[in-house]
Structure 1
Amino acid sequence: MQTGSTSSTAAWTPDLRRSVRLLGEFRHEQTDPNRFYSAIAEDSVGQLSTYLDLSGRTVLDVGGGPGYFRAAFRAAGADYWALDADVGELSGAGRIEPGTVIGDGMNLPFRDGSVDLCYSSNVLEHVPDPWRMADEMLRVTRPGGIAFISYTVWYGPWGGHETAPWHYLGGQRARRRYAARHGHEPKNRYGESLFPVTVRAGLDWAERQTAGEVVDVLPRYHPRWARGVLRLPGLREVATWNLVLVVRKA
């Protein structure tokens, strides 16, 4: 397995302290998205550096919104591009930055093998055909490059996003409850911009895709010693929170 620089790899340690810190940041996703996404971005760069040296690499962030991850990737020396289908999301941090593309994650407007790293964080659950998007991410990745796909698991505690934990009683019911309580629809509307994506579905896709080698499947926020939860059907759907699939393009 190719690794990044010693400093980047050493700085990223999947221990319990990291898990507690990142899970704590979820409290700020709605109220302070810059804080939340900046923390996730910094962690992502450290994690990705264990698979690929980011310096000089072309990175496509699928569903990158206003580019919260831009600073972290550029600090690692990457040429960063962000794609989103929602102009409102793209301008959420102010002006739309250069290197930003409006497009559909299920039909990426990039040629085959055009990026070294195709990255997506907490986006797959927001598209109606998530595994088409995963296939597209692999299509635009160069041979030897990495597709890093991370998504919020539906049956995890945060599966309903701001409607959690009521999503356990059904997505539509949780959506109606939120609207009645707050006087407006949630940002993540079940059946329109939020869909149930499971651990099992991710494992099935990883097994059936033929475009590359699966180099990692792991619960994103867990310490290394807790990764065995993925071997426990049923429990893994609740305990995983967020699943990461890492594929090296053949």
Structure 2
Amino acid sequence: MKVSEFAEFYRLIRQRTVSEKHYIRFQEFQAERVVRGIAETVGLKGKLMLDLGCGRGGYTKIFQKQGGIVVSLDMEHPPVPKLFRAFVQGDATQLPFKDNTFDFVYSSSLIEHLPVPSKFLKEVCRVIKKGAVFYLSFPPFYTPVGGHQFKPYNMFLPERAATFMARKFNNSRSYKYNDERGKLYIMTIRKARKLAKAAGFTILKTKTRFLKINPSRIPLLNEILTWHVEFYLQK
């Protein structure tokens, strides 16, 4: 991205919790740019695709503009239903779809919130067509943003100390990363690679979102320098 785009992105990050409209725009901004990268690997026009963990629908909206036939799934009913042409309320680890249904599956910032990510990946592999691409992305746990509400303390403190500091300075109410309020599980690039392969996927490539340089491919340092990793997986 250009410097001006990074400045706009930072502004949207700061404002994303103001209202539903602000959060949707935050998602749309990312989706508009993520689609550029996806288009290098797979076309979306006319493809039946699944947006997993769709949230407010910012990504769904952009994928629909690109001509994708989008089925959106989330645990909670969307606050702005009109954004969705096909919404399914459900569990990403128990997908209510037949085998080999989708031409493309998209999931961003979801896997790190799932207690059994292996089950999630196996379900995606089941419902996606042979040869189709699954875009999986998340902020690795030990990066500056990977700790979510526990950042930056998760990078250099044990869990008990990190959650204490987050309660004191970040307005967190969690006593553990993965308690009912935190809902965060440690996900790393190395772990995601291992789980994806075990689920039946081939890793086509990994990228770092919005950056031309790609620290996601640097052993060890990738877990610290890759602010948001993108996996392109193929069944």
| TM bucket normalised to smaller | 0.7 to 0.9
Amino acid at match of 1:161: H
- Tell me if structure 2 keeps the 8 A contact 1:213–1:247: yes
Match of 1:34 in 2: 24
**Correspondent of 1:200 among 161, 185, 190:** 190
TM-score, normalized by length of structure 2? 0.83
Identify the match of residue 177 of structure 1 among 151, 154, 165: 165
SS in 2 for 1:159: coil
SS of 1:70's partner is helix
TM-score, length-normalised on structure 1? 0.79
Task: Check if 1:219 corresponds to 2:208.
Answer: yes
Q: 1:199 to 1:28 in 2, by over 3 A?
A: farther
CA distance in 1, matches of 2:141, 2:40: 27
Which residue number corresponds to residue 151 of structure 1? 138
Q: Given the superposition, is the C-alpha separation of residues 95 and 103 from structure 1 closer, same or farther in structure 2, using an over 3 Å criterion?
A: same
Shift of 1:162: 2.9
Mapped partners of 1:156, 1:26: distance in 2: 17
Paired AA for residue 74 in structure 2 = D
AA at the equivalent of 1:241: W
Cα 1:23–1:196, aligned 2, differ >3 Å: closer, same or farther?
A: farther
Tell me the SS of whatever aligns to 1:217.
strand
Question: Which residue in 2 is equivalent to 1:243?
Answer: 229
In structure 2, the CA distance between the partners of 1:176 and 1:43, relative to structure 1 (3 Å rule), is same
Would the aligned equivalents of 2:98 and 2:127 in 1 still touch at CA under 8 Å? Answer: yes
For 1:162, the aligned partner's letter is Q
For residues 30-87 of structure 1, give each alpha carbon's deviation from its aligned partner in whole angstroms, at most 9, with x where no partner exists. 3432232111111122221111111111111111112121221111111111111133
Distance, in Å, in 1 between the alignment partners of 2:5 and 2:163 is 29
Q: In structure 2, what is the equivalent of residue 70 of structure 1?
A: 60
Aligned to 1:10: none
Deviation at 1:19, TM superposition (A): 8.1
1:172–1:58 distance in 2 versus 1, CA, 3 Å: farther
Q: Does 2:125 match 1:138?
A: yes
CA distance in 2, matches of 1:163, 1:217: 26
Distance 2:119 2:171 in 1: 34
**Residue 174 of structure 1: how far off its partner (Å):** 3.6
What's the RMSD between the two structures over aligned residues?
A: 2.7
Q: State whether residues 22 and 40 of structure 1, in contact with CA within 8 Å, keep that contact through their aligned partners in structure 2.
A: no
1:82 to 69, 72, 87: 72
Q: Deviations 1:4-32 (Å, cap 9, x if unpaired)?
A: xxxxxxxxxxx565984586354444343
Deviations 1:86-138 (A, max 9, x none): 33xx22x4668441111111111111111111110111111111232122112
* AA matched with 1:165: P
Given candidates 109, 115, 120, the residue that maps to 1:128 is 115
Percent identity between matched residues is 25
Distance 1:146 1:125 in 2: 20
Residue in 2 aligned with 1:43? 33
User: Contact 1:19–1:221 (CA<8 Å) still a contact in 2?
Assistant: no
Q: How many residues align?
A: 226
SS in structure 1 of the partner of residue 136 of structure 2:
strand
Equivalent position amino acid for 1:178 in 2? A
Measure the CA separation in 1 of the matches of 2:205 and 2:103.
Answer: 17
SS of 1:69's partner is: helix
5+ long unaligned stretches in structure 2: none
| Contact 1:34/1:68 (8 A) holds in 2 | yes
